[in-house]
Amino acid sequence: MLTNRIFKFLCLLIMVSTASSCKKWLDLKPENGIIRQNFWKTKEQVQAAVLGCYASLLGAPAGINDRPLPEYFFVWGEVRADMLAPSTGITNEELEIMNVNILETNGITNWRSVYRTINYCNTVIDFAPEVLQNDATFSQQALDAYLGEAKALRALMYFYLVRSFRDVPLVLKATSSDDQLEQLAKSTGAQVLQQIVKDLSEAETTAPLTFNNLTYDKGRITRYTVNAIQADVYLWMEKYPEATAACDKVINSGRFGLVSSSTWFTSVFVNGNSNEGIFEIQFDKQKLNTFYTMFRSRPRFLAANIVSDPSDGLYQVDLQDATKFDIRGDGAAANFGDGRIWKYVGIDFNSIRAAEESYAHWIVYRYADILLMKAEALAMAGNGQQALDLVDRIRIRGRALNTGGSSGTGTSRNVSPSDTEGILSYILEERSREFAFEGKRWYDLLRFAKRENYKRLNILLEMVSRSVPGSLQQSAIAKFRDPNSHYFPIYQYELQTDKNLVQNPFYK
């Protein structure tokens, strides 16, 4: 598998850009001089460095105690939203975020791991071109493909940062010695997004269409991964024709499709690398997914909104016909009996994985996301019926219950194609069913709320009423009326070590 090869090269990458200096800004210092003098001689070393970029997503180098990036992506994308409730194992830091009481001392806001991966990408971008002069068997085409992967992965990391913190330092050069360490100020969110668009535009022209290997096609960045990120970025930037065009590039490729209802859970979440997968962070037996220990028993979080009344919940069931149910609900998103998040621990709808089988992938993008992103863009462009047709495709595959069943329940909405706001609400609701606990919920809520100068701020205020304890709701609502509160504070350690950083104004 991909991770086997990645970890063979990880030690090489650590020499390239290790985070051994724990007292320097962003912990980006590699061992002085190692980059130019002892590396970057052969095409194999370039490949090692690129694979190391992917390896960094799975965990920190040896000796550094930090979360794997998918764990950050899960917490950042879910804990601030409304589909989780605290359980016995929750930490104070997680509870602070859920209760809209985030402090700059909260370690969950530590962006170090993301910048570590960014520096690995920067290192490839800066130094891989030298190998053309050192290895006659290394072609410009191969170099450009590697650079495309590195630029797209860097763009993805910055997209997580800009959605989570908004204004962040924009680091575009590798840190290769103590002499190059800089104290950098923040760039604005708009400047970061501009760089993301630039990186993706350049990557699109050179990233491989395929590696002719299923695992690589799903676990490394292809041109279609670039298109998926572009669609997401353009939606965030409210550029709807561009988002539609990016989605169409994936759709028209003919390389992806929705997995059938009968095999959906097993193909997408148990086995991984399904026809639906576009980009997946891949765990395996040599690098297990930490979500297993989080959710296998006595879960940290309960899926509160989907274990409530089954006849009036997120998925709903037909109380008079047990054969009618949304396949994405009980035994897929979560175990409704005890609230465990199931996508990362279940082996089927009823059984849990063995510990040694805990390598569920973290799915960054899959085809269903492309269809619903396109539906969103079409709705904003006034193409309501086309948007509704795409939502129906997702619902049919998910066996979503329609209104008027034998128990009178259902999750369909009778929305007019001319009712843009109604269609958007329907899409947002459907995204919550389709992507439950895949790290997307908070970013979806914020994107829909902030659109058109926070035209629908009520989305976040209503979320608070569902997710924050009653005694704290008024305080949380007051905070959320300030858009600055929708982004994390800069972690205290970074402020102490980089005097050019200025705290998010909400947290001053």
- How does pLDDT run across 380-401, given as a tens digit for each residue? 999 999 999 999 999 999 999 8
Q: What pLDDT is recorded for position 93?
A: 94
Q: How confident is the model at residue 339 (pLDDT cuts 50, 70, 90)?
A: confident
Q: In the CATH scheme, what is the code of domain 237-302+310-435?
A: 1.25.40.390
| Domain ranges (residues) in the chain | 1-63+112-207, 67-109+438-508, 237-302+310-435
* pLDDT reported for residue 300: 64
Look at residue 433 and tell me whether its pLDDT is greater than 90.
yes
Average of pLDDT values for 342-361? 90
> How many CB atoms lie under 10 A from the CB of residue 458?
10
Please count the residues of the chain. Answer: 508
pLDDT band, residue 301 (cuts 50/70/90): low
Q: What is the pLDDT of residue 326?
A: 92
Res 315: pLDDT: 87
Q: Is the pLDDT of residue 365 over 80?
A: yes
pLDDT value at residue 30: 39
pLDDT at 16 over 50: no
- Note the pLDDT of residue 324: 86
Q: Which two tokens stand for residue 36?
A: 């130019």
What SS3 state is found at 278?
strand
Question: CB–CB of 339/303 below 8 Å?
Answer: yes
N-to-C CA span, the chain: 47
Question: pLDDT tier at 294 (50, 70, 90 boundaries)?
Answer: confident
User: What does pTM read for this prediction?
Assistant: 0.92
The answer, yes or no, to whether residue 14 has pLDDT greater than 90, is no
CATH architecture of residue range(s) 1-63+112-207: Alpha Horseshoe (1.25)
Secondary structure (3-state) at 365? strand
Burial 46-59 (b: 16+ CB within 10 A, else e): bbbbbbbbbbbbbb
Between CA 200 and CA 499 the distance in angstroms is 31
Q: Which tokens belong to 59?
A: 């965990």
Kindly report, residue by residue over 310-337, the tens digit of the pLDDT.
556 788 877 778 788 899 998 999 888 8
CA Rg, the chain, in Å?
Answer: 22
In the predicted structure, residue 85 carries a pLDDT above the cut 90: no
- Please give the residue that has the higher pLDDT: either 212 or 313: 212
Provide the pLDDT confidence category of residue 302 given band limits of 50, 70 and 90.
Answer: low
State the CB neighbour count (10 A cutoff) for residue 65. Answer: 5
Pick 358 or 152 by higher pLDDT: 152
